Structure 1
């Protein structure tokens, strides 16, 4: 009975990177109750903690952006 679903996956580092997916690459998947779905891919700079913090902020802003819009 959720109104919003969100998935995050990525390479926060320090390992796990490839040429096509460097450290800081993060993918987001969103679904809102009306059935609208979308995904986004971003790159964030910094160490593991910085990438994780930026990812959380981006994800929450993405949900709010589409709920308000």
Structure 2
């Protein structure tokens, strides 16, 4: 899901996942942010698919290939 679109042709994509804690056996949420190149103009809240690509800048190594679901306004 896109969490920020303030940069030109770049979005921050947050990936959430649920994992089981090894010791306590409780499910906990983990999240990670990826900076991705965006030629499609996605907005905050859109669900997008990203793929790894060559390094485009110091922190950008992902690219948006499709918008799966647009955010409701």
Question: TM-score, normalization: structure 2?
Answer: 0.36
Q: Which has the higher helix share?
A: 1
Q: Which has the larger radius of gyration?
A: 2
Q: Which has the higher strand share?
A: 2
